[in-house]
């Protein structure tokens, strides 16, 4: 070969090699799979096509194959960084239960992504919903009862357990709640709500320090895995066993879900599946301005609502972008997965105003299509009844959207209750004013009433609170329209100011506790009096249909007294009398609207009158003699 030709030839070869090398990926590793979401689905689901999100590495150019019958895979869509892969699986009616692994192939090799089909849970006794016939009980898994010390300091997240620190894990778990189900049953509880059970960060956050303590997400509201259970609480199998045991006792279970945001240590904060998966990034986002009132303003320009809908909570929690169709699909499937896997009866959805109403409509439609009896409870933390009513489903708002959310927490009544029954000058006019706004709601009869919460101070830590006032407030909460709810410890008057002091142990639920308030022997005399009062209220709530579903009728209202009735056709009417004065009160009340006439008798059920004798209606009027700071429930004979 002539020298000149040889030089030209080798230069051509070098150029060809360089061209090929330039076109090849910069990596040479085979694909790897870290996680598949959802990990399983069901035959017979209303959602026959399931979109999987596969997280891994080196997924660029991947193709997906299925070798099993009954499940077909669509075309894969891979994120630009090769970390995520979307794939639609269509599940045929003749598909078989069992493993259906996916083969993921790239030019560098192949790997397998696990996926399986399961049999649907039997519908009987599950997915039941809840109603005004129920009494709800909220328990923080970490603070209610420690039933398994083996998960107190799990290998996955060492060093987060320290009962001496208010912001660390304390050891409560699914096993502890399971153990206490008979206690809840004896208290008259028919529905259990637990704060989120998602897997949260495996380490403390040195950048967030409160009370000289690094922040730890023991509360569950900062998920790092939407499909995992927090290891400090237990396993998904243990969660399902807890729910099954609750159902066996006639107790429904409500899951706390969070569609608005994830924890700051979620993998998505570093690498998101799509460019618009989150609203912004860790280094470039807007902070939430909390201006939810503006969301119901028909005259508000869209840009005035951006910080509310797209801002990161506290400037740190990544905000999910439900306007991204992939995000919306992911969240809907995740909600369906938890319900179908565990058998939950309802959902408590966190921070609903911070997510578009359009998404809630789509989300509720999908859930109700699969589980028609499921009840959805939304959190709208505001004292304006017009705003809370704006989010309850049952009718369209000015935007043409019906959210489909069955009910909401009655925060307006909660704030009014604090003003009415606590403070230096308790005054019942505040709750009377809130009740006058009931016409704003599509269904005020299923609003959820409460007097303490995990993000609000406990009643007995409010200024001016006394055990006597607490009992009157509890009588009101159990007899006013709506669904009564207890926060763990309310039944014994457990105190607790703002977070984290309102999240203390339930006495007797943890190693080293000096007393056991789950038993009468472990309660103080005041606690036992409150417990007996609550137990009497739950009994009357169960026995008297009018207390659960009856129409509210205001009969008498003053600053210190309030008398109202609950009437239900075909059932005994019930009259409720409250006296907040530190003096006795004698009240004469016409009761014709209750369907009662002269000579009819009513019997006091709480024995708070000066005499336990029945009260007779004379001339269409009932005469009530109420002792100081007291309440009673009168049932027609």
- Residue 466, CA distances (Å) to 354, 459, 488 in order: 36, 9, 18
- DSSP H stretches of helix in 120-214: 141-144, 174-179, 181-187
Residue/partner pairs of 24-30 with CB below 8 Å, 24 or more apart: 25/60, 25/61, 25/107, 25/108, 27/58, 27/108, 28/108, 29/57, 29/58, 29/108, 30/58, 30/106, 30/108, 30/109, 30/110, 30/111
230 Cβ contact partners less than 8 Å away, ≥ 6 residues apart: 141, 197, 198, 199, 200, 220
Mean pLDDT of 448-469: 96
Asked if residue 215 is part of any domain, the answer here is no
177 Cβ contact partners less than 8 Å away, ≥ 6 residues apart: 139, 141, 144, 145, 147, 192, 194, 242
Domain count, the chain: 2
User: Pick from 532, 527, 525: which is nearest to 507 by CA?
Assistant: 527
pLDDT class of 21 with cuts at 50, 70, 90: very low
pLDDT class of 611 with cuts at 50, 70, 90: low
- Dihedral in degrees, nearest 10, Cα atoms 386, 390, 391, 397: 180
Mean pLDDT of 85-111: 95
Using CA atoms, how far apart are residues 142 and 505, in angstroms rounded to an integer? Answer: 9
Mean pLDDT of 256-275: 98
- The model's pLDDT over 46-97, given as tens digits with 9 standing for 90+, comes to 998 999 999 999 999 999 998 788 899 999 999 999 999 999 999 998 899 9
Using CA atoms, how far apart are residues 53 and 32, in angstroms rounded to an integer? Answer: 14
Q: Mark which of 89, 118, 147 sits at the end of a domain.
A: 118
- Locate the DSSP E strands across 61-151: 63-66, 71-73, 77-78, 84-91, 98-99, 102-106, 109-113, 116-118, 136-139
Asked if residue 73 is part of any domain, the answer here is yes
Q: At 105, which CATH number? A: 2.60.40.10
Using CA atoms, how far apart are residues 529 and 171, in angstroms rounded to an integer? Answer: 29
Mean pLDDT of 165-194: 98
18 pLDDT more than 90: no
360 pLDDT more than 60: yes
Q: Mark which of 102, 118, 134 sits at the end of a domain.
A: 118
According to the model, what pLDDT value does residue 156 have?
Answer: 96
**CB count, 10 Å around CB of 207?**
9
- Distance of alpha carbon 484 from its chain centroid, rounded? 16
42 Cβ contact partners less than 8 Å away, ≥ 6 residues apart: 117, 118, 119, 120, 340
610 pLDDT more than 50: no
User: Residue 100 belongs to what domain range?
Assistant: 32-118
Q: What share of the chain is helix, strand, coil (3-state, %, to 5)?
A: 30, 25, 45
Classified as helix, coil or strand, 63 is: strand
pLDDT class of 207 with cuts at 50, 70, 90: confident
According to the model, what pLDDT value does residue 7 have?
Answer: 52
pLDDT class of 619 with cuts at 50, 70, 90: very high
Question: What sign does the CA torsion over 278, 279, 284, 285 have?
Answer: negative
Question: What sign does the CA torsion over 566, 393, 380, 231 have?
Answer: positive
- Residue 520, CA distances (Å) to 171, 526, 528, 530, 542 in order: 24, 11, 7, 11, 22
- Distance of alpha carbon 440 from its chain centroid, rounded? 24
24 pLDDT more than 70: no
- For the chain, the residue count is 637
pLDDT class of 20 with cuts at 50, 70, 90: very low
Asked if residue 343 is part of any domain, the answer here is no
According to the model, what pLDDT value does residue 8 have?
Answer: 45
Mean pLDDT of 155-175: 97
Q: What are phi and psi of 149, to 5 degrees?
A: -70, -15
Classified as helix, coil or strand, 445 is: helix
Q: Mark which of 86, 118, 150 sits at the end of a domain.
A: 118
Mean pLDDT of 174-203: 98
4 pLDDT more than 70: no
176 pLDDT more than 60: yes
pLDDT class of 229 with cuts at 50, 70, 90: very high
Asked if residue 409 is part of any domain, the answer here is no
Using CA atoms, how far apart are residues 350 and 124, in angstroms rounded to an integer? Answer: 27
Average model confidence (pLDDT) across the chain: 94
- The model's pLDDT over 531-541, given as tens digits with 9 standing for 90+, comes to 999 999 999 99
Dmax over CA atoms of the chain, in Å, equals 130
Asked if residue 276 is part of any domain, the answer here is no
Classified as helix, coil or strand, 537 is: helix
26 pLDDT more than 60: no
What is the DSSP code string of 453-513? BTTB--GGGSTT--HHHHHHHHHHHHHSSSEEEEETTGGGT----STTGGGPPPTTSSTT-
Q: What share of the chain has pLDDT > 70, as a percent?
A: 95
Asked if residue 556 is part of any domain, the answer here is yes
Mean pLDDT of 243-262: 98
Asked if residue 130 is part of any domain, the answer here is no
126 neighbors 343 (Cβ within 8 angstroms): yes
237 pLDDT more than 50: yes
241 pLDDT more than 90: yes
According to the model, what pLDDT value does residue 515 have?
Answer: 97
Structure token pair of residue 348: 């408590």
According to the model, what pLDDT value does residue 106 have?
Answer: 96
180 pLDDT more than 60: yes
1-10, 83-92, 132-141, 401-410: least confident range: 1-10
Q: At 603, which CATH number? A: 2.60.40.1180
- The model's pLDDT over 451-461, given as tens digits with 9 standing for 90+, comes to 999 999 999 99
Asked if residue 192 is part of any domain, the answer here is no
Question: What sign does the CA torsion over 158, 234, 405, 134 have?
Answer: negative
């Amino acid at each position: 070969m002539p020298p000149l030709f040889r030089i030209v030839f080798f230069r051509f070869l070098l150029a060809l090699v360089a061209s090929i090398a330039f076109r090849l990926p910069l990596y040479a590793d085979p694909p790897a799979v870290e996680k598949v979401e959802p990990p399983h689905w069901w035959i017979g689901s209303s959602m026959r096509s399931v979109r999987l999100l596969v997280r891994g590495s080196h997924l660029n150019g991947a193709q997906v194959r299925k070798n099993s019958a009954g499940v077909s895979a669509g075309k894969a869509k891979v994120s630009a960084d090769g970390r995520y892969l979307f794939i639609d699986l269509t599940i045929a009616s003749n598909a078989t239960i069992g493993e259906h692994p996916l083969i993921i192939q790239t030019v560098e090799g192949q790997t397998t992504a696990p996926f399986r089909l399961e049999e649907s849970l039997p519908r009987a006794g599950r997915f039941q919903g809840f109603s005004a016939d129920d009494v709800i009980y909220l328990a923080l898994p970490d603070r209610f009862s420690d039933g398994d010390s083996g998960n107190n300091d799990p290998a996955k997240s060492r060093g987060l357990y320290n009962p001496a620190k208010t912001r660390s894990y304390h050891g409560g778990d699914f096993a502890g709640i399971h153990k206490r189900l008979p206690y809840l049953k004896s208290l008259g509880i028919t529905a259990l709500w637990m704060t989120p059970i998602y897997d949260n960060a495996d380490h403390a956050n040195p950048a967030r320090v409160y009370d000289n303590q690094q922040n730890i997400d023991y509360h569950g509201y900062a998920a790092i895995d939407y499909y995992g259970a927090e290891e400090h609480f237990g396993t998904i199998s243990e969660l399902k066993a807890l729910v099954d045991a609750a159902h066996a006792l006639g107790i429904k279970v409500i899951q706390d879900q969070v569609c608005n945001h994830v924890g700051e240590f979620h993998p998505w904060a570093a690498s998101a599946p799509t460019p618009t998966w989150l609203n912004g990034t860790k280094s470039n986002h807007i902070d939430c301005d909390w201006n939810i009132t503006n969301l119901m303003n028909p005259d508000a320009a869209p840009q005035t609502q951006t910080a509310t809908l797209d801002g990161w909570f506290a400037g740190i929690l990544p905000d999910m972008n439900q306007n991204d169709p992939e995000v919306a699909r992911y969240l809907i499937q995740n909600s369906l997965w938890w319900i179908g896997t565990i058998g939950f009866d309802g959902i408590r959805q966190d921070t609903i105003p911070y997510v578009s109403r359009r998404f809630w409509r789509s989300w509720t439609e999908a859930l109700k299509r699969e589980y028609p009896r499921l009840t959805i409870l939304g959190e709208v933390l505001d004292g304006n009844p017009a705003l809370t009513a704006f989010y309850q489903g049952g009718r369209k708002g000015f935007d043409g959207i019906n959210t489909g959310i069955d009910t909401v927490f009655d925060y307006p009544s909660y704030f009014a209750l604090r003003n009415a029954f606590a403070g230096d000058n308790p005054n019942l006019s505040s709750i009377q004013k809130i009740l006058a706004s009931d016409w704003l709601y599509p269904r005020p009869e299923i609003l959820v009433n409460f007097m303490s919460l995990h993000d609000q101070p406990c009643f007995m830590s409010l200024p001016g609170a006394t055990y006597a006032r607490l009992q009157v407030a509890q009588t009101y909460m159990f007899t006013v329209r709506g669904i009564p709810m207890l926060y763990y410890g309310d039944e014994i008057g457990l105190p607790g100011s703002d977070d984290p002091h309102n999240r203390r142990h339930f006495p007797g639920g943890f190693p080293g506790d000096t007393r056991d308030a789950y038993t009468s022997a472990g309660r103080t005399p005041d606690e036992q009096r409150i417990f007996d009062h609550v137990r009497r209220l739950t009994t009357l709530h169960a026995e008297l249909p009018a207390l659960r579903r009856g129409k509210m009728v205001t009969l008498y209202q003053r600053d210190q007294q309030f008398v109202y009735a609950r009437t239900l056709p075909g059932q005994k009417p019930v009259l409720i009398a409250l006296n907040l004065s530190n003096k006795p009160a004698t009240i004469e009340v016409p009761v014709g609207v209750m369907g009662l006439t002269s000579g009819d008798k009513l019997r006091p059920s709480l024995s708070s009158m000066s005499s336990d004798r029945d009260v007779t209606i004379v001339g269409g009027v009932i005469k009530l003699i109420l002792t100081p700071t007291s309440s009673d429930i009168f049932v027609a004979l």
